[in-house]
Amino acid sequence: MAETAKIALVTGGGTGVGRAVALALLEGGYSVILTGRRKEPLEETIALAGGDGARAFALPCDVTDAAAVDALFGEVERRFGRLDVIFNNAGTNVPSTPLGDITPEQWQTVVDVNLTGVFLCSRAAFNLMRKQEPQGGRIINNGSVSASAPRPGSAPYTATKHAITGLTKSTSLDGRPFNIACGQIDIGNAATDMTARMKQGVPQADGSIKPEPTMDARHVGEAVRHMADLPLDANVQFMTIMATKMPFVGRG
């Protein structure tokens, strides 16, 4: 490994946005650890990277399991000695459901992955970044445009993504003494398996069902790589990248 190679970790790296970001970071010369619950999708991402896949490593982990997260970061430290960037991307959702019909189990599942999982990974990354030499690193959180404006029937997802904004700000403050930068990217309608339904139509705030435009997830990967490439004395605190014509500005 070249001495200048940076080490990045991408959660939820086997599909969708996580896959696009992992591929972009590999293309940019990073060594990338991909994590997720299932090893097979992670290995598929590595195969898609072609020759760059030689710098990619699949380390499965359930981000909701504190012991598993600690073990993952222990393995990262053992193999690489440091971590320069983490992209907290792993997330889940439930079908569009009015607030009164959401079960406590559905709520807890979304909170566990989208919020607690990001906390556990951020905490572990923070602890590694503040003790490594040279000290510091960058934490990038996937906030989603739902961190600003909800869709109908999205209470668990929207609540967790609003909470990610608070976690991002707190991490930014707590990281300053240790040269740890933290930023958030809010993504709207990247074309992935999760957003395929938008072509058929999704609920709008006025009660209608309408199709929505999407954008190539590759642009998200490039945007995250831009954030990652900055020197640690510069930070993209918040970025929104979205399909230009999606109904976000003025949603509702």
Catalytic residues: 157
- Distance (Å, whole) CA 251 – CA 247: 6
Q: Helix 16-27 vs helix 218-229: angle between axes, to the nearest 10 degrees?
A: 50
Beta strands in the chain (DSSP E): 7-11, 31-35, 56-58, 85-88, 137-142, 180-188, 190-191, 202-203, 209-210, 215-216, 238-242
Query: In what order do the strands lie in the sheet containing 238-242?
Result: 56-58, 31-35, 7-11, 85-88, 137-142, 180-188, 238-242
Of 70, 78, 85, 81, nearest in space to 137 by CA: 85
* 3-state SS class at 17: helix
In b/e form, how buried is each residue of 205-236, taking b as 16+ CB within 10 angstroms? eeeeeeebebbebebbbbbbbebbeeebeebb
Segment holding 219, helix H or strand E: helix 218-229
